Structure 1
Amino acid sequence: MSLPAEMRFVDLPSFGAPEVMVVSKGPLPVARAGEILVRVEVAGVNRPDVAQREGSYPAPKDASPVLGLEVAGEVVALGEGVTEFAVGDKVCALANGGGYAEYCTVPAGQALPWPKGYDAVRAAALPETFFTVWANLFQMAGLTEGETVLIHGGTSGIGTTAIQLAHAFGARVFTTAGSKEKCEACVKLGATRAINYREEDFVTVIKEETGKKGVDTILDMIGAAYFEKNLAALAKDGCLSIIAFLGGFKAENVNLTPIMVKRLTVTGSTMRPRTAEEKRGIRDELVAEVWPLIESGKVAPVIHTVLPLEQVVDAHKLMESSNHIGKIVLTL
């Protein structure tokens, strides 16, 4: 397959507001050992992209400095030692960087086949949120059938994914969102009760809904602002899984007593620093446990907006506004 000498990509000459991003041209990346080169058809937009653009979430030293952590497209070249994919395969993948471009290299262990019946737009909306939710909610927090879970930010890409997966695996789901419309969307996705955090106290509602017991697990992207309230909303032996700090990362003057009294576990992780082997392990579990749910229609990505690469500034402004329900993706 002959490849062009140059490609379009989103350049980041300096950190700052969305307007610092510009579409530029440059050479194609080359697939190293264990990697595949993907001709990107659609790239997902995620909160970590915003953080990297602002300068607070740097790319790993061996990763592309170009923004973008998830892509869908066609395999056009194989790095040394790659045998699980062939040129021409349609894949979606969790990239270590470089997704906002016409071509992107990805470790083969972080790529998955498009679910049956999926196109590039829907496939590109899967990797980042499904890797994150599976690792944090199921692997680390150990959510199982019959348990209760509170998912903050229910209409974010992470939230819409977490609600559906938790519901599909038999958990009773509660969630928070910031408007009546968003709460209604959460219930349609499988939440038993959506709590409008602008009008209700989620701790009070959780206590009422669970007979004062609390929930078994909380998936939190707010951080410091919710830390003490999250501890109060958890049941005995409950687990708080923190995946972002939209409400700050320093919690001060917090009463930690509930952690001891209720034997709570507080955990958290970011996906990017995980090893290739760890990500491959998550990928393999997704293919075995989650892809059948997607292909049967029980779980599906919620896509809010599809924009061309040239409107990447608008995509980031929308992400920052939080006025979206589900995923934002860029077409190439």
Structure 2
Amino acid sequence: MCPRLLLLGLACVAAHAAAGPVQLRLRERTVVVARQVRLADVAEVRSAPPALRAAVENLDLGPAPRAGERVRWGAAAVQRRVRGLRPEWALAWDGTGEVVVEAASQTVAPPLLVTAAEDAVRLALGALGPAAQLRQERLPAVPPVPRGRVGLLARPLDREQALRRQVAVVVDVAVDGQAEASVVVPLAVAVPQAVLVARRALSKHHVPGCDDVEVRPADRAALAADPAVADCRLLAGRLVQPLAPGEVLLSRQLEDVPAVAAGDQVSLRLATAAVVVEVRALALADGSPGQAIGVKPAAGMAAVQARVLAPGLVSFLEN
């Protein structure tokens, strides 16, 4: 080694030794803003060589407590931790027997969480969203979070999840981009919508019209499925089940009217190369054009198979 460098190194060590140990005084209580605890957070650096002070103050002692929590660090434990990290430092300690370490925290205003949840419900409802009436069931319990820039993100819902009278929306809370908490926001949902209800009892396979139904207000969130179109003039189809007086007509309770329905009187066409004959017959099953169904001719003949050609018209099928 160069003699000059060796002399300089010895001079630095001598100067450090001459300056004496770093004087530290353990604090009684400290509030930590950052996510890590520095030595300066738990101890006051009363004297230190200028070149060493910044390193002493910024020594990382480990993660801070969770937001809003308090922990007690004993003086001996703090000293062991520092000695383990920087055994070369000469330190002199003073102060209390322990320090109470508390993480600085903030509370997210519950109305902000409710707004985020309501926006998620309206988004999931689509066209029904603007008309939806949302009410918070109770203010959500919000845990404290670290200080910093707060971000709220409601977990997405599908339409079926949002179309309920009671909806629980989970809102994730992040601080400075780091996830900190998840809060459940309960909402009561009502969606006013005009619907058609039966004026009287309607039987299965009845084709409802304007004389059978009337418009009334209803809460879509209370219905088991989407209602039928509210304009009776646009109704198409027949009932798949009976409808009681005052019952809401749902879209799933309607099906396409078949070209031929069981019990219909139809024309049964029998064709040969030279002649075409049509006789009356009774349809034994529903059928759409192209489907084969059983029919019973009115002339007392046995039931035969026929292919549906059009409404009220079938063609004999030979075996």
More helix by share: 1
TM-score between the two structures when normalised by the length of structure 1: 0.21
TM-score between the two structures when normalised by the length of structure 2: 0.22
More strand by share: 2
Greater gyration radius:
2
